[in-house]
């Protein structure tokens, strides 16, 4: 279970009851929730949910409102897409910008040398 703790005091709220954060590859990726700079959007990394998506959901939120809660009813990407105003980004490890149209993400690639170089011994 993931809890949200208000910075100005108050009781913690349950954000997700089936998320897996801080274990395995989830430790090195984007956090479960992050807010846009203007506080109007919340970015939800779907990597932390049990259905294994590599997308990010971007959900509109009223400024200063509590984050949405994700219960066991969220079992696929389609459940996030049904949230009014929500968008799915085909990227993982997203850092928010001013709107869902502008964001930063990481891309990983590997290059290998296919040739052998023999050294004298």
Instruction: Extract the tokens encoding 32.
Output: 């479960």
Classify residue 11 as exposed, middle or buried by CB count within 10 Å of its CB (0-12, 13-18, 19+): exposed
Three-state DSSP at 28 gives helix
**Domain range enclosing 32:** 2-104
| Domains held by the chain: number | 1
Residue 112 belongs to some domain of the structure: no
Number of other residues whose CB lies within 10 A of the CB of residue 92: 18
Residue 33 belongs to some domain of the structure: yes
Residue 17 belongs to some domain of the structure: yes
Query: pLDDT tens across 91-100, in order?
Result: 888 888 777 8
Residue 109 belongs to some domain of the structure: no
Three-state DSSP at 110 gives coil
Residue 75: the pLDDT is 82
Residue 120 belongs to some domain of the structure: no
One digit per residue, pLDDT tens: the chain, 121 residues? 677 777 788 888 887 777 776 555 545 566 778 888 888 888 888 888 877 788 888 999 887 777 788 877 788 888 888 889 999 988 888 888 777 888 888 777 777 777 777 787 7
Cβ atoms of 17 and 1 closer than 8 Å: yes
Residue 59 belongs to some domain of the structure: yes
Backbone torsions φ then ψ of 78, nearest 5 degrees? -60, -30
Residue 35 belongs to some domain of the structure: yes
Return d(Cα 98, Cα 108) in angstroms, integer: 24
Query: pLDDT tens across 51-70, in order?
Result: 778 888 899 988 777 778 88
Residue 118 belongs to some domain of the structure: no
């Amino acid at each position: 279970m993931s809890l949200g703790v208000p910075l100005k005091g108050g009781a913690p709220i349950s954000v997700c009851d089936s998320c897996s954060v801080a274990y395995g590859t989830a430790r090195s990726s984007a956090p479960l929730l992050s807010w846009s700079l203007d506080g109007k959007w919340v970015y939800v990394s779907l990597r932390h949910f049990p259905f294994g998506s590599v997308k990010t959901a971007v959900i509109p939120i009223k400024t200063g409102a509590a984050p949405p809660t994700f219960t066991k009813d969220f079992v696929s990407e389609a459940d996030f897409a049904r949230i009014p105003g929500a968008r799915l980004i085909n990227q993982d490890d997203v850092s928010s910008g001013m709107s869902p149209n502008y964001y930063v993400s990481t891309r990983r690639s590997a290059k290998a040398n296919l040739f052998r170089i023999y050294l004298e011994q």
